[in-house]
C-alpha cells in the first residue's frame, strides 16, 4: 500500500502500520488524497513516519499532528473556530500548555486522594468573589473527561452562574428547576465535542438558593447523579458572599478550595476551613490560581 496506485484506482491511504495518522489527516481535511500520494512517496524513499513526511513537505504543522494524535488516543480537544465553547476553556483548546499540565497534576492528586477512596462527587469553591472558581471548575471537568471518566459538571452557583456561557448551553432549565420539582436530571447537556463531559447548568435563578440546596431532595439528587457518572464536580458560589456552600459541601463530603494568587485573604481561608469542617465536610486540598 506504500506504492502509488494505478490511474482510476481509489486514492492512496497510509498503511495501518503508521497508526492511522495519515487516515486521520485525510478524514479531518488536513491533507488531500493527491498530497497523500506525495507523502507516501517520501515516506517510502526516506523510511520515515507519515506525519514526519507530511511536515517536511509543508503540508501540515506540529499542531495538526498533536490534534490527530489526540483523536487517535481518544483525547479530544478543539481548535479555535471549531466550536462555540468559550476560548477560556484552555483544557479544551490548549491541552498541551503548562497551565493545563497543572490541571492534570491536580486531577491526578484528586484521583488518588479522593475519588480512588470511594467518593464520586466534589465541591469546588473559592473564598472570595473573583477567585476564578468557575473557570477552574470548568477546565478541571474537561481534563477529567479527557481521562475517559464520565464526568458531570454541575453549576451549583444559583446566584451568579456562568457554566452555561462557557459551554454555550441554551435554555433556562437546570439544577434549581430540578430541586424545585420542575425538571429532571435528563436536562443536563452532553458536550458532544468533548465525548465524556456533561454539564448541568444552574437553571432559573431562584429567590431561595440556600433553602433549595438544604432540602433533602438535593441529597437524593446527588446520589442519582453519582450513580449515573464516574465523577461529579459542583461549581459553588464564593464562601464570603453566600451561605449556600456549606450545605453543598456537607452533601458531597469534600471540598477543593480555589485561592487566587495575591488576592485571597489568608484569614478568610482559615475561617472557611473551620466552617467547612464544622459542616461535616473535608477540605481535600487547595489550588492557587493566577488566571
In a domain, 108, yes or no: yes
Closest CA to 254 of 112, 144, 127, 110: 110
pLDDT digits (tens, 9 = 90+) for 274-287: 999 998 999 999 99
* Same domain membership, residue 141 and residue 47: no
Provide the H-helix boundaries in 73-97.
90-93
pLDDT digits (tens, 9 = 90+) for 214-256: 988 999 999 999 999 999 999 999 887 777 788 999 999 999 9
Look at the chain and report how many structural domains it folds into: 2
* Same domain membership, residue 51 and residue 194: no
What's the CATH code of the domain at 125? 3.40.50.300
pLDDT digits (tens, 9 = 90+) for 131-183: 889 999 999 999 999 888 999 999 999 999 999 999 999 877 999 999 999 88
In a domain, 150, yes or no: yes
* Same domain membership, residue 144 and residue 228: yes
Give the pTM.
0.77
Judge whether 235 and 157 are in contact, CB under 8 Å: yes
In a domain, 1, yes or no: no
* Same domain membership, residue 36 and residue 152: no
pLDDT band at 81 (very low <50, low <70, confident <90, very high): low
Q: Is the pLDDT of residue 67 over 80?
A: no
Dihedral (CA of 152, 158, 163, 165) sign: positive
- Residue 51, all three cell numbers: 506525519
* Same domain membership, residue 57 and residue 100: no
Closest CA to 234 of 123, 133, 159: 123
In a domain, 211, yes or no: yes
* Same domain membership, residue 153 and residue 43: no
* Same domain membership, residue 150 and residue 53: no
* Same domain membership, residue 164 and residue 32: no
Cα–Cα distances in Å, from 259 out to 115, 255, 265? 22, 13, 9
* Same domain membership, residue 267 and residue 224: yes
- Residue 223, all three cell numbers: 446520589
* Same domain membership, residue 250 and residue 115: yes
Full residue range of the structural domain in which residue 183 is found: 90-289
Amino acid at each position: 500500500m506504500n506504492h502509488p496506485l494505478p490511474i482510476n484506482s481509489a486514492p492512496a491511504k497510509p498503511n495501518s502500520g503508521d497508526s492511522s495518522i495519515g487516515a486521520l489527516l485525510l478524514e479531518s481535511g488536513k491533507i488531500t488524497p493527491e498530497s497523500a500520494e506525495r507523502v507516501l512517496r517520501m515516506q517510502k524513499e526516506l523510511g520515515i513516519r507519515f506525519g514526519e513526511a507530511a511536515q517536511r513537505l509543508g503540508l501540515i504543522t506540529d499542531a495538526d499532528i498533536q490534534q490527530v494524535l489526540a483523536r487517535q488516543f481518544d483525547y479530544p480537544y478543539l481548535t479555535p473556530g471549531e466550536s462555540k465553547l468559550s476560548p477560556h476553556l484552555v483544557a479544551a483548546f490548549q491541552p498541551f500548555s503548562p497551565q493545563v499540565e497543572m490541571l492534570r497534576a491536580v486531577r491526578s492528586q484528586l484521583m488518588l486522594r479522593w475519588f480512588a477512596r470511594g467518593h464520586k462527587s466534589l465541591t469546588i469553591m473559592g473564598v472570595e468573589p473573583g477567585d476564578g472558581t468557575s473557570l477552574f471548575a470548568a477546565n478541571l471537568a474537561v481534563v477529567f473527561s479527557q481521562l475517559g471518566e464520565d464526568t458531570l459538571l454541575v453549576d451549583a452557583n444559583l446566584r451568579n452562574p456562568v457554566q452555561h456561557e462557557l459551554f454555550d448551553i441554551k435554555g433556562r432549565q437546570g439544577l434549581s428547576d430540578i430541586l424545585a420539582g420542575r425538571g429532571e436530571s435528563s436536562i443536563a447537556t452532553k458536550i458532544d465535542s468533548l465525548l465524556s463531559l456533561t454539564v448541568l447548568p444552574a437553571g432559573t435563578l431562584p429567590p431561595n438558593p440556600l433553602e433549595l440546596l438544604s432540602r433533602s431532595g438535593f441529597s437524593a439528587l446527588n446520589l442519582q447523579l453519582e450513580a449515573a457518572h464516574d465523577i461529579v464536580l459542583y461549581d459553588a458560589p464564593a464562601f464570603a458572599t453566600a451561605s449556600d456552600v456549606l450545605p453543598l459541601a456537607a452533601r458531597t463530603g469534600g471540598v477543593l478550595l480555589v485561592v487566587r494568587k495575591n488576592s485571597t485573604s489568608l484569614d478568610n481561608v482559615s475561617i472557611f476551613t473551620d466552617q467547612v469542617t464544622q459542616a461535616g465536610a473535608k477540605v481535600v486540598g487547595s489550588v492557587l490560581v493566577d488566571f
